Amino acid sequence: MRLTGAQALIKSLEMEGVEVMFGLPGGCILPAYDPLLDSSIRHILVRHEQGAGHMAEGYAHVTGRPGVAMVTSGPAATNMVTPLCDAYMDSIPMVCLTGQVPTSAIGTDAFQECDTVGITRSVTKHNELVMTAQDIPRAIREAFHIATTGRPGPVLVDLPKDVLQNTMEWYWPEAIDLPGYKPTLKGHPRMIREAARLILASERPVLYIGGGILKARAAAALRELAELLDIHVVTTLMARGAFPDSHPLCLGMPGMHGNATAVTALQRADLLIALGARFDDRVTGKVAAFAPEAKIIHVDIDPAEQGKVRRPDVPIVGDCRLVIEELIREVRNLLSAGEARADTSAWKQRVSGWKENFPYTYEPSEPGDALKPQYCLESLRDSAPEGTILVSGVGQHQMWSSQYWRFEQPYTWVNSGGLGTMGFSVPAAIGAKVGRPDATVWAIDGDGCFQMTAQELVTASTERIPIKVGILNNSYLGMVRQWQEMFYEERYSEVYLSTDLPDYVKWAEAMGCIGIRVESPEEVQPAIDKANEIDDRPVVVEFRVDAREKVFPMVPAGMANDDILLPSSQNKDLLR
């Protein structure tokens, strides 16, 4: 069967089970948009290519399936760099298709030419410039395979216009021939036994859980392990939802803005069982002072993570789910063979004491005072339908979201962790809603973030994707303001945006959304109720909140976790 390269591309995407893609056409990718008209694949037309990338990420976050974005060459490809880097940092499976100038024009500085594979090399797991139409099915098959296996990540396929126009003989590669790519899935049995022994001998163990648990679909296995051994679980920003917040063993988020219990549990532990976590600087604080007494079991599918930051005592390369299952089996074997379990009761009591004394806290506003952002989040949380997916941008609102929400199920939290991409939430929420149309999707955004990508609400309105956006408008780049207040002697430099410019309600309405403004505590609940009832179009609720509010606790950048700053109402002496 003779097909054009473009037809082969669309057919290959269908073969990979793609149901939806996000994109925006242009010169060089035009040939691919023609066969798309006859395809079952739903295409969502974005307003800016960066939006297509973040939508693909949001979709991948909540479904576990690779997000697909398709854009043209040159400026479209460079607009895709941010989402690619974001997906690379957070290990999000994503396939990005870019148009390229015809092969004969490559290297001539042709109109809308750029070195896409060169530019994206360091922000993709892999990329390829396809030089003949005959290679398209192989390249697409490999792209999906690489994006979704091992440590997931973004893969880019660059498609010159003539390659899309030329004809080829259709085939679908049965096998994948990548001699240099064989991810290790099964952990080494000796290491797993070693890990099981360390766990049983530990008096102060903590499970340190990263986003890898979610990528490995290992939440159920994790719960079994935690309950079997009765070990506390710390869920990093990327792992929120991997273990239910309501579970008595859950300590929540560690790190720079984590709660004091989670931070201190890591610091005082004698054993960290790190599962799919990468010892990020936002978790460790000053590395030399991180968890000084702890031995480390490090399970990760990426061998390069072992020893990158902290040398593990027991490194285990493998898929988290498979390794946890083996670990459970090994622990059971050892216990039934009479191996003793160290006494963890004193530790558990200590941790419970911290939990009691160090909840997240803020001072509620006095009547007539400005609205507190934390109060808005608590109200949103308490009114959210079960299974609501929360998506956030980057900054103070992101930290409050992680702190004050209660995550009970995996894949209900979407955020930009590694790269910290402002403007992530609106497009990512659209992608999430497309992937999970049955779920309520709330995007919590800051006013700074919202202004970066808000135009995608036009996409949401036209495509009937009814997301809900809550803007915590504090008129500032809030996190920057917090740092300037705390570390630059309140010298506020280029950080004030505006309270009423833009007019968020009018802007929302202009984009086909319902816009609601909330200025006082008594308006909060009615606005949220109204937003939750609307299901035929996007809603934007602007909460005008107190600009002076800061995120606490906080471990200042570069400091040791033991130097954690607590809210003034809490007594650090009790953290022993």
Across 453-573, the runs of DSSP E, i.e. the strands, are: 468-473, 514-518, 539-544
**One-letter-per-residue 3-state SS of 397-448:** HHHHHHHHCCCCCCCCEECCCCCCCCCCHHHHHHHHHHHCCCCCEEEEEEHH
Residue type, 324: I
Give 118's contacts (C-beta < 8 A, 6+ positions apart).
none
Residue selected from 122, 167, 462, 571 as contacting another protein according to rule CB under 8 A? 122
Q: Give the separation between CA 195 and CA 533, rounded to whole angstroms.
A: 50
Q: Give the separation between CA 65 and CA 67, rounded to whole angstroms.
A: 6
Name the residue nearer to another protein (CB basis): 183 or 512: 183
**Under the criterion CB under 8 A, does residue 385 sit at the interface with another protein?**
no
Of 256, 479, 511, 554, which residue is the catalytic one? 479
CB atoms within 10 A of CB 350: 17
For the chain, the distance separating the N- and C-terminal CA atoms, rounded to the nearest angstrom, is: 72
Of 14, 111, 339, 363, which residue is the catalytic one? 111
Least distance (Å) from another protein to the CB of residue 563? Answer: 27
Taking alpha carbons only, the member of 206, 209, 366, 223 closest to residue 295 is: 206
Strand partners, 358: none
**Under the criterion CB under 8 A, does residue 48 sit at the interface with another protein?**
no
Residue selected from 75, 118, 189, 526 as contacting another protein according to rule CB under 8 A? 118
Name the residue nearer to another protein (CB basis): 228 or 304: 304
Half-sphere exposure for 450 (CA within 13 Å, toward CB): 30
Residue selected from 11, 48, 126, 310 as contacting another protein according to rule CB under 8 A? 126
Residue 484 Cα to chain centre, angstroms: 27
**Under the criterion CB under 8 A, does residue 186 sit at the interface with another protein?**
no
Residue 553 Cα to chain centre, angstroms: 22
Per CB under 8 A, which region of 74-82, 99-107, 126-134, 199-207 contacts another protein?
A: 126-134
Least distance (Å) from another protein to the CB of residue 67? Answer: 20
Site for another protein in 460-479 (CB under 8 A): none
Token pair, residue 200, equals 């049983």
Name the residue nearer to another protein (CB basis): 308 or 332: 308
Least distance (Å) from another protein to the CB of residue 418? Answer: 15
| Structure letter (DSSP) for residue 179 | T
Number of residues this chain uses to bind another protein (CB under 8 A): 19
Q: Give the separation between CA 6 and CA 546, rounded to whole angstroms.
A: 53
Least distance (Å) from another protein to the CB of residue 34? Answer: 28
Of 15, 19, 112, 134, which residue is the catalytic one? 112
Burial (Cβ within 10 Å: 0-12, 13-18, ≥19) of residue 13: buried
In degrees and rounded to multiples of 5, residue 376 shows phi and psi of -60, -45
Name the residue nearer to another protein (CB basis): 7 or 306: 306
Least distance (Å) from another protein to the CB of residue 158? Answer: 11
- Grouping H, G, I as helix, E, B as strand and the rest as coil, residue 393 is coil
Least distance (Å) from another protein to the CB of residue 127? Answer: 9
Per CB under 8 A, which region of 29-37, 124-132, 392-400, 469-477 contacts another protein?
A: 124-132
Q: Give the separation between CA 14 and CA 111, rounded to whole angstroms.
A: 31
Q: Give the separation between CA 150 and CA 389, rounded to whole angstroms.
A: 26
Q: Give the separation between CA 229 and CA 521, rounded to whole angstroms.
A: 44
Name the residue nearer to another protein (CB basis): 287 or 304: 304
CA distances from 241 to 188, 245, 483 (A): 28, 7, 28
Strand partners, 560: 285
Of 7, 16, 49, 549, which residue is the catalytic one? 49
Name the residue nearer to another protein (CB basis): 179 or 558: 179
In degrees and rounded to multiples of 5, residue 286 shows phi and psi of -60, 120
Residue selected from 45, 107, 121, 339 as contacting another protein according to rule CB under 8 A? 121
Site for another protein in 263-322 (CB under 8 A): 302-304, 306-308
Least distance (Å) from another protein to the CB of residue 195? Answer: 20
**Under the criterion CB under 8 A, does residue 548 sit at the interface with another protein?**
no
Least distance (Å) from another protein to the CB of residue 162? Answer: 17
Name the residue nearer to another protein (CB basis): 311 or 506: 311
Name the residue nearer to another protein (CB basis): 189 or 307: 307
**Residue 112 annotated as catalytic:** yes
Least distance (Å) from another protein to the CB of residue 70? Answer: 22
Taking alpha carbons only, the member of 35, 123, 132, 53 closest to residue 94 is: 53
Residue 137 Cα to chain centre, angstroms: 30
Taking residues 164 to 183 in sequence order and writing x for each that binds another protein by CB under 8 A, - otherwise, the string is --------------xxxx--
Site for another protein in 128-147 (CB under 8 A): 129, 131, 146
Per CB under 8 A, which region of 37-45, 61-69, 113-121, 372-380 contacts another protein?
A: 113-121
Name the residue nearer to another protein (CB basis): 117 or 513: 117
- Using CB under 8 A, list all residues that contact another protein: 117-118, 121-122, 125-126, 129, 131, 146, 178-181, 302-304, 306-308
- Which residues are identified as catalytic? 49, 111-112, 161, 479
